[in-house]
Amino acid sequence: MKKYLAFFRLRFSMGLQYRAAALGGLVCQFFWGAMAILAFKAFYDTDSAAFPMSLPAMSSYIWLQQALLTLLSMMGIDNEFFNVIENGNVAYELCRPVNVYGMWFTRSAATRVSNALLRCIPVLIVTALIPAPYGLMAPPDLFTFLAFLVSLTFALAVITAMGMIVYMITFHTITPRGVRLIAVNICDFFSGGIIPLPFFPEGFRQFTELLPFSATANVPLRIYSGDLQGPEMVKLMLLQVFWAAALILAGKLIERKELTRVTIQGG
């Protein structure tokens, strides 16, 4: 456990080094969030009866999504391991007397947390100051906020485990180009990155909620905005736990198979 903590700390302080890049990212996120909210607002003005969330809940969803982008989306996947697989340095990783899965899992989770901590605080502060219904609202009550935090942890486990499977596939294809982007697209769409899941057609939404992708950003963001409550919330959180366990198990199984025949690229 201690060595994993050390990996976590190291990665965390490395991530905090790139402040200028983070600032550029912030500008993008504000613009992106504002445009998305304006577009949804246009739909709301056209036909408010068909709008499945309340307007403030939708704004909170979008801002929180932007704030936690590197934490919860496939886009936040740590590119270092792709490079390592492609240029052959993976040999060094395999030499270490630690389990590769555990080591990479903690390191990529740490990258996500450090990137997100740096980026989310300014976004959260500024968007909380924007007046309703466009700004980030406070969570409805303390219990909702605690449920949000728990679900956030589960979501981090699921997305990191999913990222591990993408790495394992890259062991096979060597180049991450294509594979990475396909994973980003699929995960982004089914986790409510393009439009939140409540906007999906009935039936298709219920199907999507069972997939592992929706066990990532979808659940915590909708809990925070008050869209997800009661037994429905408990059900989706239990699904998160199930998917986290299933994906970690699947990842470990693939790891065992892939690592028996790794090809090292380069010298």
Partner 1 sequence: MLKLYGKYFAIHLKSAMQFKGSFFTSLIAQFLTSFSVFLGISFMFQRFHRVADFTYEQVLLCYGIMLMGFSMAQLFASGFKVFDSMIANGQFDRILCRPRNEIFQVLAHRIDFVRLGMLFQAIVMLIYGLCACHVDWNFLRVLTVILMILGGFILFSALFLLDGSIAFFTLQGLEFMNVFTYGAIEHGKYPIAIYGKEMLTFCTFVVPYALVQYYPLTYVLSRSEQLWYIFLPLAACLFAVPCWVLWRIGVHKYKSTGS
Task: Kindly tell me which residue out of 121, 138, 149, 194 binds partner 1, with binding defined by CB under 8 A.
Answer: 194
Which lies closer to partner 1 via its Cβ, residue 150 or residue 165? 165
Give 42 or 95: the residue with its C-beta nearer to partner 1. 42
Nearest 5°: the CA angle 117, 118, 119 is 95
**Distance in angstroms (rounded) separating the CA atoms of residues 161 and 101:** 10
CA distances, 77 to each of 69, 92, 112, 204 (Å):
11, 21, 7, 27
Question: Over 33-88, what HEC string results?
Answer: HHHHHHHHHHHHHHCHHHCCCCHHHHHHHHHHHHHCHHHHCHHHCCCHHHHHHHHC
Residue 207, interface with partner 1 (CB under 8 A)? no
By the rule CB under 8 A, 257 interacts with partner 1: no
Q: Is residue 201 within the footprint of partner 1 (CB under 8 A)?
A: yes
Q: What is the C-alpha to C-alpha distance for residues 207 and 181, in angstroms, rounded to an integer? A: 23
Nearer to partner 1, 21 or 98 (CB): 21
Nearest residue (CB) to partner 1, 45 versus 97: 45
8 Å CB contact between 114 and 70? no
User: Does residue 46 contact residue 210 with C-beta atoms inside 8 Å?
Assistant: no
Among 10, 16, 28, 264, binds partner 1 (CB under 8 A): 28
**Out of 6, 98, 186, 210, the residue judged to bind partner 1 by CB under 8 A:** 186
- State in angstroms the smallest separation of the CB of 177 from partner 1: 5
Under the criterion CB under 8 A, does residue 35 sit at the interface with partner 1? yes
CB of residue 21 vs partner 1: minimum separation in angstroms? 6
Distances (CA, A) of 185 to 75, 126, 182, 246: 9, 29, 5, 22
- Kindly determine how many residues on this chain lie close enough to bind partner 1 according to the rule CB under 8 A: 35
245 binds partner 1 (CB under 8 A): no
How many CB atoms within 10 Å of residue 177? 11
Q: Does 188 bind partner 1 (CB under 8 A)?
A: yes
Residue indicated by tokens 């932007």: 66
Residue 120 in tokens: 């989310």
Please report whether residue 1 would count as binding partner 1 according to CB under 8 A. Answer: no
| Cβ nearer to partner 1, comparing 64 with 197 | 197
Residues near partner 1, by CB under 8 A: 21, 24-25, 27-28, 31-32, 35-36, 38-39, 42-43, 45-47, 50, 52, 173, 175, 177-182, 185-186, 188-189, 194-195, 199-201
